[in-house]
Amino acid sequence: MRSISFTYKVALVFSILAGFCSDGIAQKPSPTPRQEKLLNGMKVLVWNVPAAEKTTIKIRFHSGSAFDPQDKEGVMALLSDSFFPTQESRDFFKNELGGSLDVDCNYDFIQITASAKNSEMLTLLETISQAVSNPDLGKEAAATLKTALTLRVSGLATEPAYVADLAVSKRLFGTFPYGRPAEGSIASIQKIDFADLKYAKDRLLTSDNATIAIEGNLDPALTFRAVRRYFGSWLKADKSIPSTFRQPDPPEKSPVKIEVPGLTSTEVRYAVRGYSRSSKDFAAAEVLAVILRSRFADAVGKSGGTNPVVSHDAHILPGAFVFKYRSSSPVLIIRPDRGDGNQNAVFAAIYSAPATDVEFAAAKASVLANAERRDQLQSWLDVDTYKIQSPSDELRAFQAVDLADVRSLASKLAAEPVASAIVTGTAAATVSN
């Protein structure tokens, strides 16, 4: 995969340095990157970090599996797999460049994260540019990708926790994208052909729908020149594809019940509608999620359950608050309502009781600490994906949240219908508290 000769690399480096010597090498690292937009619409972010031992590149397409056609879920996952389809192509980053490779596909984006020794920055850029601009999506390649993804999804379908997560999402969102499997299902993958992949690539994996972030001990002038060379001819889309979908109907009150032969424990899920990443209520929702996590863990522990989790899954569009736990009994130990649509005492204490000053202070401190620890490349890529003003603006939003904001949000959520799902080895019973 080394198509750049050593002589050419040396010539390129010196020619660029000669023209941009005023930009210098010894620049201090900054949380604000140097930015440029190529003529084809691709955004470039560069950080010079003299202490960095490796160069890290993250390239993100701001469209994920939410754009999968209905009944053909798995299209975007297959596209993400097509960039580096073989073990040899993935091992190249470790064995030849002294770095690593990771490809992530979720509802909101596809992202490649790759690293290499600083001296291999040009090869790293060229390798990624070739992979994303010209993946093999022919009939044979598509068939191979489908076989591999089907095998992966078949393994997930045997995991009770995955089945429960998918079931509660489907109950809450229906056919809305977040109610469908991001990886696809065995049936949906089989319906995808190479033409579907080519169509999605031409619409969504385009230069003007991508941002590249680069960090390392590098010369910014050389880096921008190299990015223009390797990515400048990449085509942009004819038109933008907005992420707008028909909002889902309210979920049914009855829980989804799924029986898995031989399962000795019960996976339980509850979910209510949440907020988008760009929502004005996002910061308060993150703080509320921490408070609910502590309360839920306490209630699950007292009721004999295990593995309590509460998450606020924010996306480009409004996501969900999800409550999870595991029980050794098929009995639903914590109900969201009494069976008549009204909340029971246990769930009301978790969900509806006003947050205290102590709870709020601890939760806000936790959210702020997590925000300040975030990877700076990831934070800046989120700006384009979720239409955020800047990472510092989001941090200020967290800092500005007060107790009244959290209490007001909790009151709104208390009125939302709750979706429930139970995965058990026997017919699940329910009890009222």
pLDDT tens readout for residues 275-289: 999 999 999 999 999
- Phi, then psi, of 424 in degrees rounded to 5: -145, 165
* Domain span including residue 214: 6-231
287 and 215 within one domain: no
Q: Tell me the residue type at 318.
A: P
**Model confidence over 49-102: pLDDT tens digits?**
999 999 999 999 999 999 999 999 999 999 999 999 999 999 999 999 999 999
Q: Hey, is 105 helix, strand or coil?
A: strand
pLDDT for 431 equals 46
CA pair distance 41, 43, nearest whole angstrom: 6
pLDDT for 17 equals 41
Final residue in a domain of this structure, among 231, 246, 273:
231
Q: Work out the angle between the directed axes of helices 139-156 and 75-82 (0-180°, nearest 10).
A: 120
* Tokens at 7, concatenated: 């002589």
Give the full edge-to-edge strand order of the sheet including 100-105. 34-37, 43-48, 210-216, 54-61, 110-117, 100-105
- Phi, then psi, of 253 in degrees rounded to 5: -75, -30
120 and 175 within one domain: yes
226 and 148 within one domain: yes
Is 250 among the domain residues?
Answer: no
223 and 366 within one domain: no
**How many domains is the chain built from?**
2
| Widest distance between CA atoms in the chain | 76
Q: Residue 54 CB: number of other CB atoms within 10 A?
A: 20
- Write down the pTM of the prediction: 0.88
Final residue in a domain of this structure, among 231, 264, 291:
231
Strand segments, DSSP code E, in 261-302 are 266-273
pLDDT for 15 equals 44
Q: Hey, is 231 helix, strand or coil?
A: helix
Report the CATH number at residue 342.
3.30.830.10
pLDDT for 286 equals 98
* Tokens at 321, concatenated: 């608050």
- Which residues touch 191 (CB under 8 Å, ≥6 apart)? 71, 72
Picking from 32, 94, 95, the residue whose alpha carbon sits closest to that of residue 383 is 32
DSSP H helices in 29-138: 75-82, 87-95, 121-133
CA pair distance 314, 416, nearest whole angstrom: 17
380 and 288 within one domain: yes
Task: Confirm if 427 and 258 have CB atoms less than 8 A apart.
Answer: no
Residues of the chain with pLDDT under 50: 2-4, 6-30, 431-433
